Structure 1
Amino acid sequence: MCIPVAPSPVQIIISIAAKTLSLYREGRLIKSYPVAIGKPTTPTPLGTFTIINKQVNPGGPFGTRWMGLSEPHYGIHGTNNPASIGTAASNGCIRMYNDDVNELFNQVPVGTVVTIY
């Protein structure tokens, strides 16, 4: 499946099959990161969303950063269980290594388009 990359300033594309999050700037790939996705009983939602809020040190199992999506109760966040990265382990959110989510957090503003396929 080919997902069009918009020439917007910043865009995130998440591949459920590859378990990767790719960051694009002005249509050009900047970096790809390994992620954990939702487990079969709580799958990650598919579609196009936006980042609606960001939080540093959200507490609980969310690692060091939280980026909430326009799909209620879902987001991109760090993890206190790094062994889960690369697996289908979450309750539907996208989990990242804390160092990776810290790096991403600093590059994406509220309003960033996130496509999950």
Structure 2
Amino acid sequence: MTQPRFTRRHLIGAVSAALAVPTPLLAAPSVNRNNIMGFTTQHWQDHFDTLGKGCIVADTTSRALHFWAGNGKVDKVYPTSVPRTDDLTKRGYTEIVRKKIGPDWTPTPSMLKDNPDLKYMPPGPHNPLGTHAMYLGWPAYLIHGTHDARKIGRQSSSGCIGLYNKMVEDLFAMAPVGTQVRVI
């Protein structure tokens, strides 16, 4: 019996076929690798005097959220969505004042001005706040999840900091009310 031969022609064909596969099919479905390569390393000591209950630095330039637990044992970085424009970006110090699993969503007056068709949304799969929300001391500014994974790593929000639902669930469990937040 004759063994099939693997020729140079077969090798060129296999490599050409592999190169023709769209890049998104090669990457993990929930992570856009091109959007998370620009993370800037942050250190909590550069932003806060103490860890307190915990610290969050939301870096809108590198589109990353850095979290440090109050006990100093947890240090995590998450890719985020950030506000679409600078005028929607509130920068400075605040804290988490409330947390909610299954948040409902009401469009703000500025959102309604841009799109009068927006309506209140109860918790659920199409809610723009995703599965978990952490409300900041600034009115209408949140750290929340999103069901639209395409938004992560992009300037796509109306002012909030968005995370993948699985990642906001992880952060939600670790960051208590009173966690210090700085948006830079």
Superposition map of 1:62-101 within 5 A? 62-101=129-168
Instruction: Name which of structure 1's ranges 74-83 and 35-44 shifts more when overlaid on structure 2.
Output: 35-44
Q: CA deviation at 1:40?
A: 1.0
| Superposition RMSD in Å | 1.9
2:71 is the counterpart of 1:4: no
Q: Deviations over 1:65-87 (max 9, x none)?
A: 01000000010000021111000
| CA distance in structure 1 between the aligned counterparts of 2:154 and 2:169, rounded to whole angstroms | 20
Please state if 1:48 is matched with 2:93. Answer: yes
Partner AA of 1:38 in structure 2: P
Structure 1 unmatched runs, 5+: none
Q: How does 1:106-117 map to 2 (within 5 A)?
A: 106-117=173-184
Q: In the comparison of the two structures, how many residue pairs are matched?
A: 117
Which has the larger displacement, 60-69 or 41-50?
A: 41-50
Counterpart residue type for residue 115 of structure 1? R
Identical pairs, percent? 32
Separation (CA, whole Å) in 1 of partners of 2:65 and 2:101: 20
SS in 2 for 1:62: coil
Q: Paired residue for 1:17?
A: 61
Instruction: Say which is worse superposed, 56-65 or 38-47, in terms of deviation.
Output: 38-47
Distance in structure 2 (CA, Å) of the matches to 1:43 and 1:82:
21
Residue matched to 2:110:
none
Distance in 2 (CA, whole Å) between partners of 1:15 and 1:28 is: 21
The structure with the greater share of residues assigned to helix is 2
What are the residue-to-residue correspondences of 1:32-43 with 2, within 5 Å? 32-40=77-85, 43=88
Mapped contact 1:42–1:90 kept (Cα < 8 A): no
What is the deviation of 1:23? Answer: 0.5
Structure number having the greater strand percentage: 1
Superposition deviation, residue 25 in structure 1: 2.4
Mapped partners of 1:24, 1:54: distance in 2: 18
**Residue 99 of structure 1 aligns to which amino acid in structure 2?**
K
Greater C-alpha Rg: 2
